[in-house]
Amino acid sequence: APAAAAALRSRPSRGLGAFVPPSVPGDVFGLGHELPDAAGRRVKGAALRVGVLNGDLKFIRQPLLIGHYRALLLTGTEDVVDGLVAQAMSRSLATGLYPDAPGSHQIFDNRREDPDNVFDLARPSAAIVAGLGEEGKLRAVDLVYTVRQAVLAYAQRVAEQGGGGVVEFEMAAALIGSGGTGISAGTAAQLIAQGALEANAKLQESAWPQLGQLTFVELFLERAADAWRALQLLETTSPNRVRVLGKVQHGAGALRRSLDSSYRGAAYDFISALTVDLSAAPAQRCISYTLDTRRARTEVRAQRAQGSLLKELVLKASNDANRDPLIGRTLFNLLVPVEMEPFLGGTSEMLIELDAGTAVIPWELLDTNPDPQSGDQRPWAIRSKLLRKLRVENFRDHARDASTDDCVLVIGEPASDPAIYPPLPGARAEAIAVARRLALPDVGLAAERVRLLANGDDAQTIINALFERAYRVIHIAGHGAPRADGGVVLSGADTFLGANEVRAMRVVPELVFLNCCHLAGRDAQSVLAATPYDRAVFAANIAEELIRVGVRCVIAAGWAVEDGPAEQFATTFYGALLGGARFIEAVAAARNAAWKASPQGNTWAAYQCYGDPDWHWQRQVGDAQRPVVPAGEQFAGIASPVTLTLALENIAIAARYSKPRPGTQPTAQLDKVRYLESEFAPLWGAMGAVAEAFGVAYTATGDADKAIEWYTKALGAEDASASFKAAEALANQLVRRGEKADDAQQAHADVTAGIRQLESLAALRPTIERAALLGSAYKRLTMIEFEAHRNAPAEQALASAIGHYAAAAAEARREAASHLFFYPAKNAISCEMRAALLAQRVPAIAAPRFQEVRESLRQTAEAEPDFWSAVGQIELRVLEAECAGGLAAEVAAIVEKLRDLKARVPATSMWDSVHTEARFTLEPYRALVKAGSPEHRAAGSLLAELKAMAGG
């Protein structure tokens, strides 16, 4: 617990990171660096300067290099950066103009109104997206090459925009590729640096500027430290080419480590199961596994099984007559290495990459040995939300994807030769049910956009319909043609609809659902008379052909299915998609529904589902709420007080800096804290460090009452593991709660209690932070007394606020702590302005005082960019506008800046402070100016805007 407490020291309320950008002249990190020569040219062969920053990338000012695996959705770092460049990246992805192949790249400028404005500099000046290909296939040489090309492209951009006067430029980079298999954070840092060095080698012979400094940005400290160690090694082996600047630096929003022991850039686990040849003998073909989960990475070169035995078991398992659950467990034991079973058995979302040799295995039917103590007896494929990905070498290069305006084609029981194929009433019923589900009012498509063919239509009718319109989804239920290039039988034995027909379509569907096997509506004689063929092979082959064409998601039945469960699977799948679920979530819901409809059957395992786990149904209007991962599943790895405090710390930082996921409730982070309290407070809540962590989390998520309760517990804990910061935080929360209380007596009691505690702490050890907190407390007391019409106490409180802010500013000036100066100095100005406004006179603040605060803000924004330095510049602009009587002329630009910052930092608790500060001067300013005047309206609109941002 003491160790947890020490690690939990939260940063002061205005953020006190220590990262100094390399643009500051001089010996930045105490190691020196090369500069251009006297003629302004960069010295050939000068070492590339590299640094590592542990923090959130929202306040990085350099152009930021990030990677993109081939996918239909921007997640993780890409999603965050997309919000910083006005969704230019997602719009480009939606139109098909987005880099995904290794070596490809695209630059998205983050355009600014005023390039010299410090506020505008506190975010990436550009996003440079480099293609990484498909997940699981990225090689070291590919990563080096794609970084080299991206750096060269940006050097060209700098040369064109700078007119040849720029000799070097800076760049920041995420640890590209380190969230996948085979590449650690340290390896990624070395490979990215190598790509940058290769780019500089080419740039030395050109007129373009070179990359002078590369800063690696990583959210988690453990990964940042891994990168730093790897770069240290690179510097040792290449002393004249790379120079590491200082240690790992700390920035806003930094996290110590991920709650899970491993890290991935996606929400699902990834396993590759590919065929390898150990010798020339066919019997020596084995499966090579690579597993990349949020808990571990491991590689197993081969898992060998007797070929003839495996084939026999696969053929028996891939059959609708199979009802033996032991076959699935036997296949699991034969195919899955023992050391991988613990990770596979406990996963929640899994994407398995297969090739032609492994795709024929019915992975969905495999099952782990059951745990008799577990209450969850669902099959493995349902528990793990198993989805497939097929490795193909050749595919259509320029597929024209369907859009949200395109239609859906549903086909059920096409006409076929009755002498060969029995009737399929279940297929027709399934198609009708699917069409109805897709055309449901309010959630589905307009009825005219769902085309249903379920009246025994012949080949001509179906093919005409196929090319009549552009389709987003094609769903077909019917007989399957038993051949590798086959498809759904149409009219005759040699007439069918398959990949060749889809390939001829000018617009490629996003989803193709093929239920093309003999359904359950036939008697025993027809089963015995049917021509046997390997349905699992057929499903894998047709899926491969459709994927080559460019279809994003493919569902194909691997064997005959039962009518009722098959209909349940299809309707549940489309219902989940229309409800906003991702592809992997919709498949899992469909499998679960089919399993519940027939637990003894195997229809739930028959569907081979290939595609992007994050693909989802896009509507022209806002998507419906998507399901939320249960909190218990997300925090399953918490096993000690230290991991609990880590989880709470991560939630607190996410509440401040992370953009809520689409469709999630505003209280999502608060709900997580409540869950952790219900689960773990009885176990470890009496520990001071744990109680303090709950206080930090509840503060960040906006529940002041719970924060005060937990901070009080922290200070009273027997183990004394809480920090002095907990005492400061308790006092601050009491003051904040008091300022918002409706009852005047309670408000006064809370604020005065907070002040007494802060004064006790300041008497014990005065600090800049405590003096500033006392100034803030007296400022709120001023507002409370004024609203209660107690003018004399209000004036006394205001004088105390000015005194404490002035003391904090003076101490910051003495310590030359510019990053601590602007806050008390700015607030002292606002206090003096309020006093003047209440006295019915125009505030007279000397211009040098504004300039002094502005300079402190500039230095802080350049050295330690975070929310408080960014919003401080806006607040200072408001104060100056009030003094000049020119708020009306400034308010539109001010609101635009505020909205931009709100998009980056959504935390209502932080915006509540901004709103309170604005009220402190804007309310008396609004009362002073003429009612109805432009200044009066401007003050009112700005207050309303900030109140909304604070959640009011």
Write out the two tokens for 877: 């602009």
pLDDT, mean over the chain: 80
Q: How far apart are CA 79 and CA 903, in angstroms?
A: 12
**Which residue type sits at 811?**
E
Residue 851 burial (10 A CB sphere; 0-12, 13-18, 19+): exposed
- Polymer length of the chain: 952
Return the closest-CA partner of residue 56 out of 700, 659, 692: 659
**Which residue type sits at 758?**
L
Write out the two tokens for 846: 């000397």
DSSP class of 363: G
Scanning the structure block, which residue is given the tokens 């975010």? Answer: 123
Q: How far apart are CA 808 and CA 14, in angstroms?
A: 14
Segment 556-573 shows an average pLDDT of: 88
Phi-psi region of 288 (alpha: psi -120 to 50; beta: other; left: phi over 0): beta
DSSP class of 902: H
Q: How far apart are CA 176 and CA 189, in angstroms?
A: 8
Task: Name the pTM for this structure.
Answer: 0.57
Does position 489 have pLDDT exceeding 90, yes or no?
no
Is 334 in a helix, a strand, or coil?
helix
Does position 349 have pLDDT exceeding 90, yes or no?
no
Q: How far apart are CA 837 and CA 741, in angstroms?
A: 25
Write out the two tokens for 259: 């709650």
Band of pLDDT at residue 429, cut at 50, 70 and 90: very high
- Better-predicted residue by pLDDT, 431 or 250: 431
Alpha helices (H) in 788-866, listed in sequence order: 791-814, 818-838, 847-863
- Better-predicted residue by pLDDT, 343 or 23: 343
- Torsion angle of C-alpha atoms 823, 826, 829, 830, degrees rounded to 10: -80
Does position 194 have pLDDT exceeding 90, yes or no?
yes
Write out the two tokens for 436: 């109805």
Count other Cβ atoms within 10 Å, centred on residue 753.
Answer: 15
How high is the pLDDT of residue 314?
63
Band of pLDDT at residue 756, cut at 50, 70 and 90: very high
Return the closest-CA partner of residue 880 out of 867, 891, 864, 869: 891
Does position 848 have pLDDT exceeding 70, yes or no?
yes
Is 390 in a helix, a strand, or coil?
strand
661-667-673 Cα angle (round to 5): 105
Phi-psi region of 281 (alpha: psi -120 to 50; beta: other; left: phi over 0): beta
Is 703 in a helix, a strand, or coil?
coil
Most confident of 179-183, 522-526, 792-796: 792-796
Does position 758 have pLDDT exceeding 70, yes or no?
yes
Window from 210-224, 458-472, 664-678, 842-856 with minimum mean pLDDT: 664-678
Window from 801-810, 815-824, 874-883 with minimum mean pLDDT: 815-824
Count other Cβ atoms within 10 Å, centred on residue 609.
Answer: 24
**Which residue type sits at 845?**
I
Does position 310 have pLDDT exceeding 70, yes or no?
no
The partner residues of 800 in beta bridges, in order of sequence, read none
Q: Are 786 and 749 in contact (CB under 8 A)?
A: no
Does position 505 have pLDDT exceeding 80, yes or no?
no
Segment 274-293 shows an average pLDDT of: 69
Scanning the structure block, which residue is given the tokens 């910051």? Answer: 812
Q: How far apart are CA 263 and CA 225, in angstroms?
A: 14
Alpha helices (H) in 490-532, listed in sequence order: 499-503, 524-529
> Could you tell me the end-to-end alpha-carbon distance of the chain, in angstroms, rounded to an integer?
37
How would you classify the pairing of strands 407-412 and 471-477? parallel
Q: Are 179 and 75 in contact (CB under 8 A)?
A: no
Write out the two tokens for 243: 């120079």
How high is the pLDDT of residue 546?
79
- Better-predicted residue by pLDDT, 642 or 721: 721
Segment 815-844 shows an average pLDDT of: 90
Q: Are 830 and 920 in contact (CB under 8 A)?
A: yes
How would you classify the pairing of strands 105-109 and 126-133? antiparallel
Q: 31 to each of 25, 49, 197, 256, 763, how far by Cα in Å? A: 13, 10, 20, 26, 40
Q: How far apart are CA 319 and CA 300, in angstroms?
A: 30
Scanning the structure block, which residue is given the tokens 């505690």? Answer: 757
Q: How far apart are CA 532 and CA 525, in angstroms?
A: 13
- Better-predicted residue by pLDDT, 10 or 156: 156
Is 371 in a helix, a strand, or coil?
coil
- Better-predicted residue by pLDDT, 859 or 376: 859
Does position 514 have pLDDT exceeding 70, yes or no?
yes
Is 269 in a helix, a strand, or coil?
strand
Q: How far apart are CA 431 and CA 567, in angstroms?
A: 8
Q: How far apart are CA 431 and CA 465, in angstroms?
A: 16
Segment 267-294 shows an average pLDDT of: 71
Band of pLDDT at residue 860, cut at 50, 70 and 90: confident
How high is the pLDDT of residue 810?
93
Alpha helices (H) in 662-767, listed in sequence order: 668-684, 688-700, 704-716, 724-740, 744-764
Does position 181 have pLDDT exceeding 60, yes or no?
no
Scanning the structure block, which residue is given the tokens 């350049």? Answer: 862
Backbone angles phi, psi at 660, to 5 degrees: -60, 140
Counts of helices then strands in the chain (DSSP H, E): 34, 21
Q: 3-state secondary structure string, 244-296? A: ECCCCEECCCCECCCCCCCCCCCCCEEEEEEEEECCCCHHHEEEEEEEECCCC
Q: How far apart are CA 701 and CA 669, in angstroms?
A: 7
The partner residues of 250 in beta bridges, in order of sequence, read 54
Instruction: For CA atoms 753, 759, 763, 764, give the dihedral sign.
Output: positive
Q: Are 302 and 274 in contact (CB under 8 A)?
A: no
The partner residues of 388 in beta bridges, in order of sequence, read 352, 610
* 654-678 tens-digit pLDDT: 888 776 655 455 678 888 899 899 9
Does position 158 have pLDDT exceeding 60, yes or no?
yes
- Better-predicted residue by pLDDT, 410 or 552: 410
Counting residues of the chain whose pLDDT is more than 90, the rounded percentage is 35
Does position 537 have pLDDT exceeding 80, yes or no?
no
Q: How far apart are CA 667 and CA 689, in angstroms?
A: 24
How would you classify the pairing of strands 242-244 and 48-54? parallel
Residue 156 burial (10 A CB sphere; 0-12, 13-18, 19+): middle
Q: How far apart are CA 192 and CA 64, in angstroms?
A: 13
Is 24 in a helix, a strand, or coil?
coil
Is 115 in a helix, a strand, or coil?
coil
- Torsion angle of C-alpha atoms 710, 715, 718, 723, degrees rounded to 10: 110
Phi-psi region of 157 (alpha: psi -120 to 50; beta: other; left: phi over 0): alpha
Q: Are 453 and 469 in contact (CB under 8 A)?
A: no
Residue 742 burial (10 A CB sphere; 0-12, 13-18, 19+): exposed
Segment 918-940 shows an average pLDDT of: 93
Window from 13-27, 58-72, 355-369 with minimum mean pLDDT: 13-27
How high is the pLDDT of residue 533?
42
Q: 3-state secondary structure string, 717-729? A: CCCCCCCHHHHHH
Give the CA radius of gyration of the chain: 32
Dump the DSSP string for 626-650. Answer: PPPPPHHHHTTT--SHHHHHHHHHH
How high is the pLDDT of residue 27?
32
Q: How far apart are CA 272 and CA 299, in angstroms?
A: 9
Q: How far apart are CA 882 and CA 885, in angstroms?
A: 5
Dump the DSSP string for 855-897. Answer: HHHHHHHHHS--HHHHHHHHHHHHHHHHHHT-HHHHHHHHHHH
Return the closest-CA partner of residue 242 out of 304, 187, 195: 195
